[in-house]
């Protein structure tokens, strides 16, 4: 009842909208007559009521019910293709603003709704109809003698029609050689009539051969397999869909009688059956996107295209890193090119995969809308990291190969920047995976942004009374005589700065420039310079103080000693 109400509501909406569009087409327009026809046809479209009465009393009624079931099975296989065709037409016409195209869209949408309802109804009830008809098999009396007599009659008639067809083909060739167009057309019409008669004969052969098949099934005689082979041979001459439907339902009957492990009488038919069943499975809709049915074949093709895209993207990355030295491309630039190309390949392949399965961007709008809602509620961090990764790649304030400091305890070299996260390798060879958003929102110290040169400050102290000039001289001489790889020259001259007079010492800072690997291991570099400073001060007998406090007592209390 609910579906019926919805249908009538949609019918009213279609009628009102089509009438409104018709008003926008002038009566003198060449499209007007076509538009009026479309409106009338749209109004006349109604849901087709499918009924299947399993009440049968004789063999002819049973065979006719069986063939009706065959027709339902054919619809079950062919309607999805019709639905896809209607969707394609709607997708094409939706891009047009012409009133006549809008009327066609309304017509196709209504036809699509009716077709989809029809398919849903058949899917819902087909197995039930199949079981009910099978249960009636044991109550029907089939006459094998009459069936064989009929088969012989139709086979003889078929042989006559085939001879007539051969003669007609000979006549056609004669008229074609003589170029008698009138006789050519007449002969072609005769051939068409003959072929239609042959199809009708094959249908009668199928009906009577089914009677023999049903008799052997009732008796659980395995000759039924051979009977089915003959029936299928006749069915092949009608059309492919009819053959597949006969095969499908007859196999269901066989399994009901002989069990699920039934084998066909001939190996050839066995192969044909399993091949047809395989095609039915892979072409069966497994889910829908909007009004588009997605079959297993579509889904597998989609997955294969995406997997191939990941493979090509990976090979593209390897190619960029392989040729970067040949063309003198920096590692950070190579990473940028590799990542951008990789994601471009993935996105383009994704769009191609959508097109392969029959979805275009307009059909994808619904998914995009749902995705935007998901982003609003739960995916905002992922999108934020994605956008931050793009900003970092183009801005290059943080790039692969830089040595950065996130906090006092977290330093390392950037080894990769992806769309979601950045990988930092610390001096302990530990990889930290940090969301890209952290680098855009928070403060980050980049030790090697402009170049790989860094100035270190090494604090130290000496005792009060020490000659300041002597301290500076001792330190600089010790540095000069050391093997430490510090930078030299006026621009990078080492300095010893007297900083403050503290409580227990005279505090100095030693400034020195280093680069490359020494700039990327601050603790070890500082350790090496401290060792040189400490040894130089010891060798020069300069005291290195430690914190101490002097206690001054102004007055001691009087001590009284009592003697026993």
Burial 503-541 (b: 16+ CB within 10 A, else e): eebbebebebbbbeebbbebeebbebbeebbeebbeebe
C-alpha distances (whole Å) from 138 to each of 86, 181, 329 are 43, 57, 82
Query: Is the pLDDT reported for residue 84 higher than 70?
Result: yes
Q: Tell me the pLDDT tens digit for each residue of 448-490.
A: 776 778 888 889 988 888 888 888 888 888 888 888 888 887 7
Q: For residue 285, what pLDDT band results from cuts at 50, 70 and 90?
A: low
Q: Which of 431, 421, 375 is nearest to 398 (CA)?
A: 421
Q: Could you tell me which residue, 144 or 491, shows the higher pLDDT?
A: 144
15 is a domain residue? no
Round to whole Å and give the CA distance between 548 and 511. Answer: 28
36 is a domain residue? no
Q: Which of 491, 497, 505 is nearest to 457 (CA)?
A: 497
Q: Tell me the pLDDT tens digit for each residue of 22-62.
A: 666 766 677 777 777 777 888 888 887 888 887 888 999 89
484 is a domain residue? yes
Do 412 and 512 lie in one domain? The reply is no
Q: Phi then psi for 496, rounded to 5 degrees?
A: -120, 115
Q: Could you tell me which residue, 71 or 32, shows the higher pLDDT?
A: 71
What CA dihedral angle connects 393, 395, 401 and 403, to 10 degrees?
Answer: -130
Give pLDDT, residue 148: 92
Q: Which helix (H) or strand (E) holds 328?
A: none
Do 269 and 145 lie in one domain? The reply is yes
Give pLDDT, residue 209: 92
Do 466 and 432 lie in one domain? The reply is no
Q: Which of 199, 200, 192 is nearest to 168 (CA)?
A: 192
Q: Tell me the pLDDT tens digit for each residue of 382-413.
A: 777 777 777 777 777 777 888 888 877 778 88
Q: Please report where in the chains the tokens 């959508």 appear, as a residue.
A: 354
Do 222 and 115 lie in one domain? The reply is yes
Round to whole Å and give the CA distance between 429 and 448. Answer: 19
Do 323 and 369 lie in one domain? The reply is no
Q: For residue 226, what pLDDT band results from cuts at 50, 70 and 90?
A: confident
Q: Which range is least confidently modeled, 225-229, 241-245, 395-399, 412-416?
A: 395-399
Query: Is the pLDDT reported for residue 237 higher than 80?
Result: yes
Q: What percent of the chain has pLDDT over 70?
A: 82
Average model confidence (pLDDT) across the chain: 80
Do 459 and 529 lie in one domain? The reply is yes
What would the two tokens of residue 500 be? Answer: 């403050």
Give pLDDT, residue 368: 60
233 is a domain residue? yes
218 is a domain residue? yes
Of 281, 298, 315, which residue sits at a domain end?
281
Q: Quick one: average pLDDT of 437-457? A: 79
Round to whole Å and give the CA distance between 346 and 68. Answer: 48
Q: What is the CATH number for 385?
A: 2.30.30.60
Q: Which residues pair with 410 in a beta bridge?
A: 407
500 is a domain residue? yes
Of 421, 450, 479, which residue sits at a domain end?
450
Which residues in 169-245 belong to E strands, given as ranges? Answer: none
Do 48 and 63 lie in one domain? The reply is yes
Is there a contact between 469 and 508 (Cβ–Cβ < 8 Å)?
Answer: no
Q: Please report where in the chains the tokens 């569009």 appear, as a residue.
A: 21
Domain count, the chain: 4
SS3 508: strand
Do 69 and 116 lie in one domain? The reply is yes
Q: Tell me the pLDDT tens digit for each residue of 427-436.
A: 778 888 888 8
Three-state DSSP string of 394-462: HHCCCCCCCEEEEECCEEEEEEEECCCEEEEECCCCCEEEEECHHHHHCCCEECCCCCCEEEEEEEEEE
Do 319 and 464 lie in one domain? The reply is no
Q: For residue 192, what pLDDT band results from cuts at 50, 70 and 90?
A: very high
Do 522 and 444 lie in one domain? The reply is no
Of 423, 450, 477, which residue sits at a domain end?
450
Do 506 and 375 lie in one domain? The reply is no
Q: What pTM did the predictor assign?
A: 0.51
Q: For residue 288, what pLDDT band results from cuts at 50, 70 and 90?
A: low
Give pLDDT, residue 190: 92
21 is a domain residue? no
Domain that holds residue 524: 453-539
Q: Which residues pair with 461 in a beta bridge?
A: 507
Do 83 and 137 lie in one domain? The reply is yes
What is the DSSP code string of 251-284?
HHHHHHHH-TT---SSHHHHHHHHHHHHHHHHTS
Q: How many CB atoms are located within 10 Å of the residue 99 CB? A: 19
> How many residues in total does the chain contain?
564
Q: Tell me the pLDDT tens digit for each residue of 493-535.
A: 888 888 888 888 889 998 988 887 777 788 888 888 889 889 8
Give pLDDT, residue 269: 52
Q: Quick one: average pLDDT of 417-434? A: 83
199 is a domain residue? yes
Round to whole Å and give the CA distance between 362 and 245. Answer: 35
Q: Which residues pair with 295 in a beta bridge?
A: 285
């Amino acid at each position: 009842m609910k579906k019926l109400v919805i249908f009538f509501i949609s019918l009213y909406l279609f009628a009102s909208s089509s009438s409104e569009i018709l008003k926008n087409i002038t009566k003198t327009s060449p499209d007007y007559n076509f538009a009026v026809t479309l409106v009338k046809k749209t109004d006349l479209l109604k849901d087709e009521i499918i009924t299947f009465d399993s009440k049968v009393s004789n063999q002819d009624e049973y065979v006719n019910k069986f063939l009706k079931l065959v027709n339902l099975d054919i619809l079950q296989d062919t309607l999805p293709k019709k639905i896809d065709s209607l969707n394609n037409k709607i997708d094409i016409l939706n891009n047009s603003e012409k009133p006549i195209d809008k009327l066609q869209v309304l017509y196709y949408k209504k036809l699509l709704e009716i077709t989809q309802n029809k398919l849903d109804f058949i899917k819902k009830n087909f197995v039930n109809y199949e079981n009910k008809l099978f249960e009636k098999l044991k109550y029907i009396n089939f006459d094998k003698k009459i069936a064989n007599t009929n088969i012989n009659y139709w086979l003889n008639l078929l042989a006559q029609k085939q001879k007539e067809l051969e003669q007609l083909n000979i006549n056609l060739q004669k008229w074609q050689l003589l170029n008698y167009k009138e006789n050519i057309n007449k002969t072609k019409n005769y051939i068409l009539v003959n072929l239609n008669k042959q199809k009708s004969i094959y249908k009668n052969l199928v009906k009577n051969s089914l009677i023999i098949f049903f008799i052997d099934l009732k008796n659980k005689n395995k000759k039924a397999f051979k009977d089915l082979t003959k029936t299928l041979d006749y069915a092949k001459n009608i059309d492919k869909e009819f053959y597949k439907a006969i095969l499908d339902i007859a196999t269901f009957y066989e399994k009901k009688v002989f069990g699920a492990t039934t084998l066909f009488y001939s190996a050839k038919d066995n192969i044909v059956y399993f091949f047809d069943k395989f095609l039915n499975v892979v072409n069966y809709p497994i889910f829908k996107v909007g009004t588009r049915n997605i079959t297993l074949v579509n889904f597998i093709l989609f997955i294969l295209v995406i997997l191939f895209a990941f493979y090509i993207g990976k090979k593209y990355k390897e190619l960029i890193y392989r040729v970067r030295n040949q063309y003198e491309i920096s590692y950070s630039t190579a990473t940028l090119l590799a990542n951008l190309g990789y994601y471009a390949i993935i996105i383009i392949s994704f769009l191609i995969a959508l097109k392969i399965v029959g979805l275009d961007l307009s059909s994808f709008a619904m998914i995009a809308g749902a995705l935007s809602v998901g982003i609003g509620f739960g995916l905002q961090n992922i999108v934020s990291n994605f956008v931050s990764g793009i900003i970092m790649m183009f801005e290059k304030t943080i790039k692969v190969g830089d040595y950065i400091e996130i906090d006092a305890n977290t330093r390392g070299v950037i080894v990769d920047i992806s769309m979601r996260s950045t990988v930092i390798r610390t001096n302990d060879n530990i990889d930290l995976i940090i969301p890209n958003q952290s680098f855009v929102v928070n403060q980050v110290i980049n030790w090697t942004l402009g170049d790989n040169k860094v100035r270190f400050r090494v604090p130290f102290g000496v005792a009060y009374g020490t000659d300041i000039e002597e301290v500076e001289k001792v330190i600089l001489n010790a540095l000069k005589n050391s093997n430490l790889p510090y930078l030299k020259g006026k621009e990078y001259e080492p300095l010893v700065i007297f900083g403050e007079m503290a409580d227990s010492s005279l505090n100095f800072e030693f400034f020195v420039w280093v680069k490359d690997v020494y700039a990327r291991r601050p603790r070890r570099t500082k350790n090496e310079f401290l060792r040189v400073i400490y040894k130089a001060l010891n060798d020069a007998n300069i005291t290195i103080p430690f914190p101490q406090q002097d206690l001054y007592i102004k007055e001691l209390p009087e001590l009284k000693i009592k003697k026993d």
